[in-house]
Amino acid sequence: MKRITVLGATGSIGLRTLELVSSFPDEFTVAALAARGSTVERLADLCRKYAPEVVAVLDPTVVDRLARLLGPGGPELLGGPDGLVTAAREVSADVVVSALVGGAGLLPTMAAIQAGRAVALANKETLVMAGELMTRAARERGVPLLPVDSEHSAVFQCLAGHNRGDVHRILLTASGGPFRELPKDALTRVTVQDALQHPTWKMGAKITIDSATLMNKGLEIIEARWLFDVAPEQVQVVVHPQSIVHSMVEYIDGSVIAQLGVADMGVPILYALTYPERRPAPAARLDLPAVGALTFFEPDVAKFPCLRLAREALERGGTAPVVLNAANEIAVAAFLEGRIGFTMIPEVIERVLGEDPGRPLVSLEHCVALDADARARAQRWIEARSGGPSR
Ligand SMILES: NC(=O)c1ccc[n+]([C@@H]2O[C@H](COP(=O)([O-])OP(=O)(O)OC[C@H]3O[C@@H](n4cnc5c(N)ncnc54)[C@H](OP(=O)(O)O)[C@@H]3O)[C@@H](O)[C@H]2O)c1
C-alpha cells in the first residue's frame, strides 16, 4: 500500500488523483489532504470517502465548520499556512502530490522534500519560483521529483534509458489555447468566459487562463529547465493543437522521441504514483486513425507576449522568475474578477518584471518576501490603471 498525501485535494488534479486512489484500492491509501477550504462540503465528502489521518485547510475559519460536519472520530484538522506545511512534513507518506495552485504550494512542497518524501509535482509555479533551491534540496536528500504536468511526464518518459549528455533539445508541445486562430487585435475584446474555454484540457481556472495567454507554456519552459537540468535554450515550444503528442526529446544524432496519448491527466498522475512501474490506466485509448492528422506550428510570440516574458525571466534568472510568477498570479486573478482585460495580463507582468533589478535568489525566505513584494506592486499597478482598489 502506498500512502498518498494530496495537497490541493479539491482541485482538478487533486480530485483526479483521488479517483485513481478509488480505482486502485489495493495499491493506494490516503494519508493527508490539504486545500484552501473554499468548498467545505466537498472536503467533508472526501474525508468520509478516503479517511485521511490529517486534513489541512488554509482558511482557519473552515476548521470548525469541517469539524462539525465530520463529527467525532474524524481526521486531525489543521488550519492556516503552517497547517499545510505540517501536513506535508509530519504525516508519513510515500508520495506527496503537490497540486495546490500557485505560490501557495511553495512552502508545503518544500516541507515534503525536506522531510524526504517523494513529490509528484503538478504545482509548476513552485519550481518557477524556487527551481534551483527545490531541485538542490531534492538532490541532497535523494528525493524524486516526479512530473505530473503531461508535457513533463512525456519528457521524463522520453529521457528514460538515454544518456542525458546526448540530449540536443526538449520540445514542449502547446495546444495554442482558445485564441490560437484569433487575430491579435481581437484579443482586446475576449471575455473571461472565452478564455476559460480550453480546446483540449479541462483544468482549474488559473491554469486555463495561463493556457490562453501561453504563460502556461512559459512557466513550463522554466519548469523543464529545472526538472531536467538543461540549459534554457535547450527547451523549445511547438504548437500542436490536437494535444496528442505530449512532448518530445531530440537527441544529438537527430532522433526525436515523442510520447503520445489521449488528453487525460489520469495517465501522467498514475505514472507518477506508480513510477517506475506502470498500471493499466482506466483511461480512453489513443485511436490514431480517428485523430487523423497531427499538426505543428511555431508559437506566435508577438501575439502572446507572456511566452517571451517567461523566457526573459528564465534567462535573467535569480529573482526574475519569482517576480514573473507573482505578477502573473495577480494579473490572472484580476482578469478573472473582471478588473482588467485579457491583454493587460502581459502588460502588468512586463511592468513589474521591468522594475526587478535582477539579483541572485539566496534563500526560501528571500523568495517568499520577494513574492509578497511583487504581488503588492502588481496589485498597486492594476489599481492605478483600473481606477481603484479591488472589491
Ligand atoms: N488541471 C490540470 O489539468 C493541470 C495540468 C498540469 C498542471 N497543473 C497544475 O496543477 C496545479 C493545480 O491545478 P488545478 O487545475 O488542479 O487547480 P484547481 O482546480 O484550481 O485546484 C487548486 C487546488 O488548490 C487549492 N488552493 C487554491 N489556492 C490555494 C491557496 N492559496 N492555499 C491553499 N490551497 C489553495 C484549492 O483549494 P479550494 O478548492 O479549497 O479552493 C484546490 O484544492 C497548478 O499548479 C496547475 O498549473 C494542472
> Given this model, what pLDDT does residue 244 score?
98
pLDDT digits (tens, 9 = 90+) for 159-202: 999 999 999 999 999 999 999 999 999 999 999 999 999 888 88
391: pLDDT strictly greater than 50: no
Residue listed under C-alpha cell 495554442 = 176
In the structure, what pLDDT confidence band is assigned to residue 388 with cuts at 50, 70 and 90? low
Residue 331, φ and ψ in degrees, nearest 5: -65, -40
Kindly give the distance from the C-alpha atom of residue 108 to the centroid of ligand 1, in angstroms, as a whole number: 13
Spatial strand order of the sheet with 256-260 comes to: 235-239, 167-174, 245-251, 256-260
pLDDT digits (tens, 9 = 90+) for 27-80: 999 999 999 999 999 999 999 999 999 999 999 999 999 999 999 999 999 999
Distance CA 88, CA 84 (A): 6
Residue 113: which residues within 8 A CB-CB, separation 6 or more?
119, 134, 137, 138, 141, 143, 145
> Given this model, what pLDDT does residue 202 score?
84
| CB of 35 shorter than 6 A to ligand 1 | yes
In percent, the amount of the chain with pLDDT more than 70 equals 99
Give strand pairing partners of 259.
Answer: 247
Kindly give the distance from the C-alpha atom of residue 13 to the centroid of ligand 1, in angstroms, as a whole number: 7
State how far the alpha carbon of 70 is from the alpha carbons of 10, 39, 44, 373, in Å.
17, 14, 6, 39
In the structure, what pLDDT confidence band is assigned to residue 321 with cuts at 50, 70 and 90? very high
Residue 91: which residues within 8 A CB-CB, separation 6 or more?
5, 31, 32, 53, 54
| CB of 111 shorter than 6 A to ligand 1 | no
In percent, the amount of the chain with pLDDT more than 90 equals 95
| CB of 12 shorter than 6 A to ligand 1 | yes
